[in-house]
Structure 1
Amino acid sequence: MKSYDFLPIILGSDENAYGNVRLIQEAYQIKPLLLCTRLLIPTMNSKLFDLIQIDRFDHDTVFPGALLSILEKHTAPNRKIVVIPCSDYYAALLSRHYSKFKGLIGNHFISEALLDTFDTKDKFYKLCEKHRLDYPKTIVCEPHERERALEQMDFQFPIVVKPENSNAYAYLHCHFEGKKKVFFFNTKDEYLLMVKNMNTSDYKGKLIIQEFIPGDDSSMRVINSYSDDNGNVRIMCLGQPVLEEYAPKTLGNYAAIISRSDMDIYQKVKTFLEDIGYVGFSNIDMKYDSRTGKYMMFEINPRLGRSSFFVRAAGLNMIAALIDNVVYGIDNDCIYSDKTALWTNVPNLVLRKYVTEPALSAEIKNLYKQKKVLKSLWFKKDLNLKRILRVSRYYFGHINNYRRYYFNKGQAVSTEMRG
């Protein structure tokens, strides 16, 4: 395999983007092209990619023309361009404008029509009903219904409240006091205080109000998959998050994941993806409900997850699965990950303190002893002094974040007690 066979273009600059850059370097020893509006800490001071920064690149009015210009510039005979979005809004932009890039991009993305069936949580739950997938009891609240929405509630406190898409541009760029990716409330008064603050912002999206599924972070599950252009799932990896992040802007993001294997979940998700004709990368979040023994679906994201490097810890390379299929025409049977390993975005000190379930704590300790632990941002081939200092500050800054923001989610402690 030679470097001129393909050119990978990565959209974004977060942990997901850096993880994908690293996967390309490990598998093919080439530099991808990274496009973004600005560099975030995970990709700063890296020598693994060529960078193009584009002002307002994530805006609908800028994206199509800017990407088209770059594609045309880098098109060459006998070379395929593969584009990898690292956020929901880049994935959505590709789906909406794909016809403009016809013949220039080697890989495909889901249609805008399919995206429209699950790009918000309320739409996804309708899709779950159609395909007999379980999901939490839910109220979908329009902006004008926020203050009286709880009158419809047929479940008990505590509750979980989320914007219809916490990764959507509209929510990411709105501002109000106490803003979080996801809220946990024990009382109606707590909820109404948040609504009062939200109503001062320009966020006009829906709210999703759900029953809280019992269990701490380790009750969550995540599956990353790749589906080829014919909608056949080619690779799947299941992970069990053992700890999530708790700072307001990243609350709910996975901080550490142990890769698992469960053929029942694999088959259920594979059937779902193939039934809806899914194409490309997918990232599905769910939670195990100990009361029913069922997995409750939360959402599907049309790209690899921010924590998707946990798949690499399990010995698989999701980007290589894409490249091998799109560029080299390799059509393998579906690969189901069955290895156990740990991916972490936080120091071991944090895991030792905040992963309190004895069996999980012991397993994590053993994985460290066996050297089956991988961290996205620490890559030996990319550790110059500036990067070491910057990533160290970012990495060890999690210690203070947990000290300040951590709460026992399994007990759904009130927001007032979290401060």
Structure 2
Amino acid sequence: MKQVLVVGLGGDIGTYAFQRAAHERFGWRSLVVSPRVTTFGRYSRLATWVIEPEVFTPEVLLARLDAIAADHPDHELLLFTNLDWHVRVLAQHRDHLDPRWLLPFPDLATFDAVSSKVAFAAACERVGVRTPFTVAVGFGGNDAGVAKGDALALVREAALEYPLIGKPSNSADWFTARFPGKQKIHHFTSEAELVEVLDHLEEIGYPSEFLVQEFVPGDETHMRSLTAYRDRAGQVTLVGGGQVLLEEHTPGTLGIPAAILTQVDQEAFDAAARLLDHLDYFGFANFDYKVSSRTGERVFFEANPRIGRNNFYVTAAGVNVAEVAARDLLPGHVDGDAPPRTPPREVLYSVVPYRMLLRYLLDPGLRARVAAAKRAHGVFHPLRYRGDGSLMRRLYVRALDARLVRKYLEHYPHPTESGF
């Protein structure tokens, strides 16, 4: 049987989590192609790092992948990333890659239908999935958004109350945009703040839509994460999720879950599977949705055409994400019965120290559930892995914990009703 080489692009914590899952389940080692050894890979023994300063130049990336394939002529090649830009480039140039490369990602047309939040909302409407009221603002490019003045008028006519949420329709375009005060997700407390960002986007000629959305009531514990996989045969073989307990709060990472309590939300799981079937989707997808504190309805915000930064919560809850991909793409390497479609265990996933997490949990019932999950299974942190547990690695991860605590004390010292 051929050996398997897992190649990760970028080296974020989600890529590390997938590498960990592959190592835990199969003993596979990895290569990571990145401009530098990232925070999450430092002192790790799971992967060999290939330093490529121009990994975000398509021609250089493709040439580097060709070289890796040529250096491993007898290997199965599983390519993995957790960055929209890479997913799109790989979809655009799939025909130019060595056919041995296995990619658990959608094709270009499906990528565009999902990564554009405007197209995503339209697809959701067709299958009866609720999305927030949204105004798509355009800036004179090839987008379909309304002009800035018209957008402000629509917001006023809809009588939307502030705060409002601002986010890009296309994550790949947002990745390359540069302007003062840019955040992953903007939280506008007034029309003046909204106008300031729209002016910046107009000045730089932003090429796609910027979305202004209603704020669905409830703090960040009303947010949910959902991870799914739809295989080459058109079967949704994974759908799992959890309740967000705490999000990150630095400007560049605002809104990314930092702690999740896994749970089964069958209504949301069915909605996600219905959408994936409608799109004839292939590969991993990660959804963000929120349960309104006012109505209890589930409101879907987006689907990312990749596994998501926090995918380790799925592995921790009982379904190894690398096995899910391998059963589809590398079936000869997998034995035994298939794992359940939905992870069965309620576990606590957190990159935040437990005591710090409790500081932000105001609901006594939720605190009790979190404490029970910790007593039953402990706390699951993707970077704490015995199979990658050298002394330097353990000390370094502990230092990352301390740094994260300092960031919370600086940017979000006390919990708020809105999560901002």
**What is the TM-score of this pair, normalised by structure 2?**
0.90
* 1:81 and 2:77 aligned: yes
Quote the residue 1:355 is aligned against.
Answer: 361
Structure 2 CA distance, aligned partners of 1:409 and 1:230?
A: 45
Structure 2 CA distance, aligned partners of 1:28 and 1:214?
A: 43
Structure 2 CA distance, aligned partners of 1:343 and 1:103?
A: 36
Q: 1:189 aligns with which of 187, 192, 203?
A: 192
Q: Once the 2 structures are TM-superposed, how far is the Cα of residue 305 of structure 1 from its aligned partner?
A: 0.8
| Contact 2:288/2:303 (8 A) holds in 1 | yes
Secondary structure, in 3 states, of the residue corresponding to 2:58?
Answer: coil
Structure 2 CA distance, aligned partners of 1:107 and 1:24?
A: 15
* 1:231 and 2:234 aligned: yes
| Contact 1:38/1:53 (8 A) holds in 2 | yes
Quote the residue 1:417 is aligned against.
Answer: none
Q: Deviations over 1:121-154 (max 9, x none)?
A: 1121111122221100000001263466221111
Which 5+ residue runs of structure 2 have no aligned equivalent? 141-146
Quote the residue 1:208 is aligned against.
Answer: 211
Q: Once the 2 structures are TM-superposed, how far is the Cα of residue 388 of structure 1 from its aligned partner?
A: 3.1
Evaluate the alpha carbon distance shift between residue 200 and residue 345 of structure 1 in structure 2; reply closer, same or farther with a 3 A threshold. farther
Q: Once the 2 structures are TM-superposed, how far is the Cα of residue 409 of structure 1 from its aligned partner?
A: 5.4
Q: Deviations over 1:214-238 (max 9, x none)?
A: 0011111111112111221112211
Range that drifts further, 341-350 or 142-151: 142-151
Secondary structure, in 3 states, of the residue corresponding to 2:115?
Answer: coil
| Contact 2:349/2:379 (8 A) holds in 1 | yes
Q: Deviations over 1:80-118 (max 9, x none)?
A: 211112211111122111111252224453211111212
Q: 2:374 aligns with which of 365, 368, 372?
A: 368
Q: Deviations over 1:295-326 (max 9, x none)?
A: 11111111111011111221210111111332
| Contact 2:6/2:19 (8 A) holds in 1 | no
Q: Once the 2 structures are TM-superposed, how far is the Cα of residue 203 of structure 1 from its aligned partner?
A: 4.4
| Contact 2:245/2:259 (8 A) holds in 1 | yes
Which 5+ residue runs of structure 1 have no aligned equivalent? 414-419
Quote the residue 2:163 is aligned against.
Answer: 158
Q: 2:134 aligns with which of 133, 138, 143?
A: 138
Q: Deviations over 1:14-56 (max 9, x none)?
A: 1011111111111112311222222210111111112212221
Q: 1:316 aligns with which of 300, 315, 319?
A: 319
Q: 1:343 aligns with which of 339, 349, 352?
A: 349
| Contact 2:347/2:374 (8 A) holds in 1 | no
Map 1:103-118 → 2, pairs under 5 A: 103-107=99-103, 109-118=105-114
* 1:32 and 2:24 aligned: no
Quote the residue 1:416 is aligned against.
Answer: none
Q: 1:149 aligns with which of 148, 151, 158?
A: 151
Quote the residue 1:276 is aligned against.
Answer: 279
Give, as a single letter, the amino acid of the residue that structure 1 aligns with 2:154: Q
Q: Once the 2 structures are TM-superposed, how far is the Cα of residue 338 of structure 1 from its aligned partner?
A: 2.7
Q: Once the 2 structures are TM-superposed, how far is the Cα of residue 184 of structure 1 from its aligned partner?
A: 1.3
Q: Once the 2 structures are TM-superposed, how far is the Cα of residue 391 of structure 1 from its aligned partner?
A: 2.4
| Contact 1:158/1:412 (8 A) holds in 2 | no
Give, as a single letter, the amino acid of the residue that structure 2 aligns with 1:13: G
Secondary structure, in 3 states, of the residue corresponding to 1:61?
Answer: helix
Range that drifts further, 225-234 or 54-63: 54-63
Structure 2 CA distance, aligned partners of 1:389 and 1:333?
A: 34
Q: 2:48 aligns with which of 20, 44, 50?
A: 50
Secondary structure, in 3 states, of the residue corresponding to 1:127?
Answer: helix
State the percentage of identical aligned residues: 27
Evaluate the alpha carbon distance shift between residue 184 and residue 112 of structure 1 in structure 2; reply closer, same or farther with a 3 A threshold. same
Quote the residue 1:399 is aligned against.
Answer: 405
Structure 2 CA distance, aligned partners of 1:276 and 1:14?
A: 28
| Contact 1:261/1:339 (8 A) holds in 2 | no
Q: Once the 2 structures are TM-superposed, how far is the Cα of residue 264 of structure 1 from its aligned partner?
A: 2.3
Structure 2 CA distance, aligned partners of 1:401 and 1:147?
A: 37
Give, as a single letter, the amino acid of the residue that structure 2 aligns with 1:180: Q
Quote the residue 2:144 is aligned against.
Answer: none
Evaluate the alpha carbon distance shift between residue 36 and residue 159 of structure 1 in structure 2; reply closer, same or farther with a 3 A threshold. same
**What is the TM-score of this pair, normalised by structure 1?**
0.90
Secondary structure, in 3 states, of the residue corresponding to 2:167?
Answer: strand
Q: Once the 2 structures are TM-superposed, how far is the Cα of residue 408 of structure 1 from its aligned partner?
A: 4.8
Structure 2 CA distance, aligned partners of 1:109 and 1:34?
A: 18
Structure 1 CA distance, aligned partners of 2:419 and 2:347?
A: 29
Range that drifts further, 240-249 or 183-192: 183-192
Give, as a single letter, the amino acid of the residue that structure 1 aligns with 2:163: P
Structure 2 CA distance, aligned partners of 1:285 and 1:382?
A: 30
Structure 2 CA distance, aligned partners of 1:130 and 1:39?
A: 43
Quote the residue 2:299 is aligned against.
Answer: 296
| Contact 2:139/2:205 (8 A) holds in 1 | no
Q: How many residues align?
A: 407
Q: Deviations over 1:336-375 (max 9, x none)?
A: 1231001001111221111212111122222222233200
| Contact 2:4/2:28 (8 A) holds in 1 | no
| Contact 1:186/1:412 (8 A) holds in 2 | no
| Contact 1:163/1:207 (8 A) holds in 2 | yes
Secondary structure, in 3 states, of the residue corresponding to 1:337?
Answer: coil
| Contact 1:159/1:186 (8 A) holds in 2 | yes
| Contact 1:122/1:164 (8 A) holds in 2 | yes
Give, as a single letter, the amino acid of the residue that structure 1 aligns with 2:326: I
